[in-house]
Amino acid sequence: MANKTGYVFAIMIAFWLGIIGLSVSIVGFSGALTSDEMENWIRGVMWIMAISGLFIIYGGVNMFIASRKKMSDIDKDEIELAIAVNKHVTIEDAVKTIREEAAKPFAEKNTLLAHWSYTSEEWKEFTKKEFSFRLREALVVWLLIVGFGTWLLAGYRDMGHLAAFITSLCTGGLITLIRFIIAYNARKANASKPGDVVISAKSILINGKYHILNDENKTLYKLELLKDENPQILEFSVEWNTRNGNTNEQVRVPVPSDKLTEAWKLVEVFNNEVIGKY
């Protein structure tokens, strides 16, 4: 099954936004409509509260609908991939389908490109190295936050250097701790299962965990075959917009020793048929 924790969390937030919005609206409307002796500025505040509550409810409903839709889309993608892995499709047929789907505003069908299985030893070695990679990545992020954050807070926020350093150190430490927990849980879950990877133009299933490559929010912008790794790694780089600008993540997949030719074909297919078109 796919990892839907983020969407479940969003649904919970949407629920509480609805409760908060409803409470704020009731207080606002009650105050604005029931008291004749209220000063005008207080009545104005009540009306603002009432309208703000309605906006909060609207935001919560939209978040709920979007999260439910995304979970439904993930279920649909998983079913399509589960059906696809039971059918033998040549890479040439897959490329033809990809071209047809890429011409649509949002491709709906997951076209299977690869289905790889691994020996227990291969998969355990990968999960071990992947954990080390994620840990190094988290430490680099921590150092960057400490260095850049200290400079920014001290230089532009008129904060003392020591206070800026401590603030950046704690903020970076918290982010690093969260990334470490995620990496540790991923290693623990993956190492306990035999390796299985399903790759399509839109998504990847890694031991049943769903990773989006292309949809209305995320875009695959680079695919590399890391030949200096052992085993060699396919690294999918995905980006999306946030309020603070673009951010990105890397989804890494080990290449079985007998699938190197297929891995190079995947790089070619993605560069020519997927990246920049989906």
Q: CA 73, 74, 75, 76 torsion: positive or negative?
A: positive
Element (H, E) at 200: strand 196-200
204 and 261, same domain (yes or no): yes
Same domain, 220 and 242: yes
Instruction: Tell me the per-residue pLDDT of 154-213, one tens digit each, with 9 for 90 and over.
Output: 766 666 777 777 877 787 777 777 767 766 666 665 655 668 888 888 888 888 778 888
For residue 118, give the DSSP letter. -
Residues 201 and 108 in one domain: yes
Q: Are residues 266 and 181 in the same domain?
A: no
pLDDT at 159: 67
- Choosing from 160, 193, 226, the residue where a domain stops is 193
- Kindly give, in sequence order, each residue whose CB lies less than 8 Å from that of residue 107, ignoring residues fewer than 6 positions away: 101, 201, 202, 214, 278
Q: From CA 212, how far away is CA 197, in angstroms rounded?
A: 14
Instruction: Based on the fold, state whether residues 161 and 218 are members of the same structural domain.
Output: no
The answer to whether the beta carbons of residues 53 and 23 sit under 8 Å apart is: yes
Q: Buried b / exposed e across 18-55, counting CB within 10 Å, b at 16+?
A: beebeebbeebbebbeeeeeeeeeeeeebeebbeebee
pLDDT at 1: 43
Count how many domains the chain has.
3
pLDDT at 223: 92
- Chain-centre distance of CA 30, in angstroms? 41
Which among 104, 58, 70 is positioned nearest to 218, based on CA atoms? 70
pLDDT tens digits, 113-146: 888 888 777 787 787 777 777 777 778 888 888 7
What are the tokens at 172?
């970076």
Same domain, 202 and 127: no
Instruction: Give the residue from 210, 247, 167, 186 showing the smallest Cα distance to 75.
Output: 210
Task: Say if residue 98 is in the same domain as residue 146.
Answer: no
Same domain, 278 and 202: yes
pTM assigned to the model: 0.62
Give me the mean pLDDT over the 16-26 stretch: 85
Tell whether 22 and 101 lie within a shared domain: no
Residue 251 has pLDDT above 60, yes or no: yes
Cα–Cα distance between 88 and 32 in angstroms, integer? 67
Same structural domain, 47 and 140 = no
* Domain span at 30: 5-77
Structure-model confidence comparison of residues 221 and 159, the more confident one? 221
For residue 116 the two structure tokens come to: 């790889």
